[in-house]
Every structure is written in C-alpha cells, then in structure tokens.
Structure 1
Amino acid sequence: MPPLGEPQMTQGPRIDPPRLNEPYLLTPGPLTTSYATKEAMMRDWGSWDGDFRAMTAEMRKRLLALLGPGSEAFDCVPIQGSGSYCVEAMLGSFVPRDGKVLVLANGAYGLRAAKTMEYLGRDFHLLDKGDYLPPRGAEVSAILEADPAITHVLAIHCETSSGILNPVEEISAATYAAGRELLIDSMSAFGALGLRPWEIRYEAMVSSANKCIEGVPGFGFVIARKEALQRAAGNSHSLSLDVEAQWAHMEKTGQWRFTPPTHVVAAFLEALRQHEAEGGVAGRGARYARNRDVMVEGMRELGFETLLAERWLSPIIVTFFCPADEKFVFDRFYELMKAKGFIIYPGKLTVVESFRIGCIGQMDEHVMRQVVRAAKETLAEMGVASAAPPAAALEERAKLAA
C-alpha cells in the first residue's frame, strides 16, 4: 500500500498521468489530493446535462449532511471562484445595504474581510486583535452594546495566517444574546471541525472545495439558513456573487446560473465520498489533529517554537517563529524542504518573521514525521546551530498571552 498522497496506479494506460513523486503541499489549500480525486477530473461533463445536475444535487445534499441534526433549516449554494469570492458573496448578500458588520480579525483573512466591506461601501467596525489572540465573547458583547447600528458579526473560524482556532461558540452566544446575526468564514475548518447548528447558531457560513474536504480549487459554497436566503433578495452588489439569485436558480432548474467548474465538481464529489468513508468530520478532524501533534512535537524537539500558545493551536495549520540564527534564511529553507518533497508556506504576520506548516490534505502522521526529519536535515545543511526564535518574539508572545 503506497503512502498517503502518492498515486495508486491501476491497470490500463493513462494519458498524461500525474508525476509519481509530487511534493506534499503543507499548505492550507490547495493541498495534496488523493489519486482518485485527481482521476475524477479525467472526464468531461455537460453543464446543462441531467447527469451533471444530479452531481450538483448530490454534492449539496452531502455538504448539508455534514451539519448533522438541524440541517433541514439550511441549504447549500455553491459559488464559482476562490474562497475570497465566497466571503464577498456572503457579506454582499446577507448584510443589507444599510447594515453594519462587526468584523473580528486576528490575522490577514479578517483584515481582508474588512477590506471587502470597504469595497462594498458598507459600514463596519473592525476589532483587530493582532496575530496572537482570539476575539472573545465579552469583547463582542461590549461592542454590540455600545453600537446598536451593528446588525451582523463576522467571525473567522480558523485564521490561517497564524493557525489560530477562534472561539466561535462563545462569539455566537454573545452575538445572538444582543439580537444580532452571525456570519462565519469557515474556509479552512469546515469538514474537519464541527459547525453543528444546535451548538453554534449562525445565519450563514462559507468554505471552499480545496480545504478540509480535500478537493481541488475552483469553487466554494455558502451554507445558510433558508430564511436568511429568502431575506437576502435584492441585497447583493454583484450579479455574479448574488447568493440568493444563485440559490433561486438552482432550486428552479437544478443548474448553476453561469458556467460551473464541471471537472472540479466531479473531483469534489469524489472527495466527499472519501470524507464519508473516513468517518466524516470526526474522522477527518482526528487525522488532522494527530498530524499536528506529531509535527509540533517533532519541530519543538528541533528547537522551533510555535507562534501561538497551546490552547489556540488549530489542527489545520501551525505557525512557527523563524530561528534567530543568522544562518537561517527562509527562502533557502523553503527550497531545501521542497527538494526533499515538502512545500511549506511563508508566514503572513506583520510583527515577526515566521513560516507555516499545514496539517491538512492526504497526509498522515507518518508523513509528518518525514517532514520533521527533512527540517532537521535542512537545518544541518544550512549550518543552523539552533532553531530557537529571537528572545523578543517569545517575550512578546508571553506578554500578550498573559
């Protein structure tokens, strides 16, 4: 049995087969996919054909099933484009033009949502927590009490610029206690971390095909309460990103309004079947958590330090401080790791030098041990004596976490 992430060759000729030794993508998506997922894209589909309409219907049904009990109050609306398209579609469709959003940010993606609100020309209040800490329910409550004009709260489920897992349950409780509505960007978490409606109330959430379901890039999806979808009519600033119009058209015809990414949908449907076979959200999340634990333990043994305190580490992606050793140059570290078969991610922080290692995709704990071994060898090749970060970085982390 080949390791996860390596193609499983079957009998019969193939046209332009994937390379046998592709590097693992240790990123928050795109990520390493299974051979069966890649293989699903080898057929062409007619976007108006009944077979493809049936695929779309099955995909929507399977995504809703991931919510568990209470899913009957929701519907699923796929949207062409990357995850950021879906975030903009959600904000532009569910927030009335005279509404106001409390944007909770602790990294690049929360700040991108605030920038989206600027482009939309809609009012917002930004709570920027920096790179280390999550927004808390008490802070949300205080802001909502002070500003009755706020109609919605936007929370990032997992902020992948740092890897922080935000406390969406307490944010939701604070939001609805104040009579407002919650929107969730669960781009990098849905499928591995639960968003159960009976535990966490929200009006809509978004995610993407190329994240924890382990599909390929090309579309995302909005899962929203049917009541919220109905109320969204006429809100959107955009023809293409109107979630309610897309939903209404799909409900009437079974088709996407505009040309769908047919091959990507076929791959995603295969990925959803694999997700179910692994044990659904619980099974997928357990593998990712084990990936994180094995990788973090090994990297710490090498001297690396995580940006975040233990309680906020997500099983999606982990940010590490760059070593203080003057011989450590990230670009060189990156290239040497890539040569060993692992593509890591540069940091996206504003205050310290860092890099990120993803835990998601077709990888298991055995692959993560290989990652640690590759990092150890790379440090030796670079002549880096210590992977310890600058003392000032650790002091700042301790101060903010206190």
Structure 2
Amino acid sequence: MRNLTIFLYEWKHFVGSPFKIVAVLLFIIASIYGLQNGADLYEKQNSEIERINKEAEIQKATTLSYFENNQKGPENRPWIDVTSPFWALWHTPTYHFKKPSPALVYNIGQTEQYGFYKAIRTSSSPYDADMTNEISNPERIQSGTLDFSFVILFLLPLLLLVLLYNIKGQEAEHGFLPLVFVQTGSKNWWLLSRTAFYTVLLLLVLFGVMLYGATLTNVFNSENIFGNIFLWVTLYLFFWVIIYFLILKYGKNTVSNTLQMIGVWLLFAFIIPATVQQWITIEKPTNLMVDLIDVSRDTKSEINVQSIDKIDEQLFQLYPNLKDTKVAQENITVSRLRRLSTSALINVEMKKATKSIEEENKSKNKLISKTYWFNPISYFQNKLNQLSNTHYNDYETYRNNIQESVDKRNELKVFEIWNDIKVDKEKYLEYNATLSNSN
C-alpha cells in the first residue's frame, strides 16, 4: 500500500512535469527512427540478395542456351569456349551471402563496416576491396543516421538522468525531506520506490518500442531474439539505475546530483571508450595489409613465370591425387594447363597473408575484451552485436566460408582441367550444383 501511494505521487509529479514528458517523447521518437533505419537496412540487404540471385539465374540460363544451341560462347567473344572446364566454371556464377538477421532492426552493429555478399572466383579473397565497401556505423551516425542500439546505449542513460535528477534534492532544498521520511517511514524505501517507478516506466516504454520494431521484421520467427535482446536492454537499464540511485542516496542537492550523473555518463559513454580505442591503436596499429598487396602484385607474377616442373611439384604437394589425373598419367606438358592451374597456388599464398591479418584482429579483440570490466558500454554493445549476428565473429565465419568456397572452386577447376574434361549441359549443371552447395 505504501508503494502504491509513492507510485501515485510520482505519477502526478511526472505528468505535471512537461520537461520529463517531452524527454520521454523525444526518446520514443529517436527509438522509432533508429528501428526504422535498422529495418530499412534489413530490407535493403534482402532485396539486394534477391536481385543478385535473379541475375545469377539469368547468367546460368544464358550459358545453358549455348549448350542447347551448340554454341561455344557469345558470338562477339570467339575466344570463350564453355565446353572447356575453365570457361564453364568462369560462367558458373557463385555468390556467398551473409544473410541479415531480423534482429538488425535493433542493432546495426558492424553490418555497414563489411560487405554482405561476395562473388566467388578462383582469385577471390575474403579481404578483397568489395568486402569492405560500406561505411561504418559511427560514420553513419555522424551523417545524421542512428540505430536503436545507439539510442539505448547513449540516450537511455540521459533520459534516466532527466527523470531522476531532482529526486530527493528538490525536497531537501525546500526543507521537506524530514517530513517525507516521517510519512514514508524509511528514507531508503522512499528513494527506492521513486526510482523504481521510473524504472518500470522505462521498461514499459522499451518493451513498447521493441514490440513495434518486431513488426518491422520477422523477429518473432527467429528463436527468442526478442526476449534475449530485451533481457540485455533491461540489464543495461538496471546498470544505470543502480549508479544513479547510489548518487541520489549519498548526494546533497539537485545540482550536485545532476553534475555527478552527467560526469559518470561522460566517463562511461565517451572518456573510457575513447581511451581504450586510443590504447588499442597504439598497441596494435592498423594493419596496412602489405602482405596481401605483395601477394597480389609480386607473388602472383613470380608463380606464373615458374617452370612447368616447379608448378607441377607445388600442385602435387597441394593436391596429391592430381598425380592420378589424365594429364599427369600421360605426362602431358602443356604450359597453358599450368597457367590455368596457378590460381590454386596463388590462393595458398593469399591464405597465408590473410591468416596474419586475422590473427592481428583476434589479438585486438582480446585486448578490448580485457577492458569490459571497466568499459561497460563496449561490453553491452558487444552483447547486442552477438544477438543480432553483427559481431566480429559472425563476419569471421562469413570470411572463412568465402575462403572455403574459393578453395573448393580452385580444386574443382584444377582437377577438371587435368582430367581433360569435355563440358556439356549436364556437366555444367553439375558444376552449378556442386558450387552452390558451398554457399
């Protein structure tokens, strides 16, 4: 009964404060705006994936028409012969996608820092330029666009500050505090109840806007995404509620409480993340991908100018079963076959170069994870990234899958060439089925 009385008192105080009502409304508007941005990006990526798949089907149909019409390729390109494995595989469009999670509506994360589709060729790499052609989320925010997670991580603490800043301080300044304690029976209970009122209010607001976000994408069709994200948003809210409650409990007046709240917010939201970022930059400078550039520019040429015997030796080491192919068994020494096969050797060198990049990235992530105990915003952002499949690990898996597809394509090409396969319509369809399974 005592709680209900305090809640009713606080409700009257809230509805009688235009400043607090406007703050809540602005927060709701910002949340809806962020949710719309996430949903728009989700729809954009799905539409792009659908468009690419349709283009791939058109390309397949065009190549199939060559076989049906006894053509070797387009008439304006007489050098193309789709009955050879090299050109048949060249005209087998293969893409690998990172399909967006419905939870993108709540958290864009690193989605715009990396590409979400990749055309697979024998010379492709997980670190090709088209894999990082999107702008990053901080740049997106600077250009006037934000997502729901930004609203939660940075604006929610400010809204809570607005709602709580004058609790106890106002009564103390007017000399009403002793009377309040007499009426409520407990200083801590009265303060806790008033804080709890705004906590419940914000939980209802958060649940409502997240429910709206769920209608923008098929969130409820995915396993417990809504519940997990709401749980972490709630924990984040409680984190700030506890900090502000302690400030109010031990604070002297409204001005002092407000300044302390703002100071803590600035510390956790900007000072600590910026300091950590600067420290990481010093400890682990940005990888300029020199090794990758050297492979693309120099190693590729060095491999291509090697002797036939040297190329054969490396190919047999890479693919021991290649010795059983027709070309190897009949000891056919055609330099053209070796040139068409060197992409597999170049791919090996590219993997060595990208491995060092991945190791550096993992090292950076480990350093950042060690700061989570005093860098809570980065910790909660990391959790939201994991739940929305926009975490670094998700993109690492995506890159690994791309590399596996490239490996598979190279191996298939080399063995088909060395077995001197003649490609027909059925073989071409087999290529498509084999390579599509790697998506």
TM-score when normalising by structure 1: 0.25
Larger relative contact order (C-alpha < 8 A, sep ≥ 6)? 2
Q: Larger % of strand: which? A: 1
Q: Larger % of helix: which? A: 2
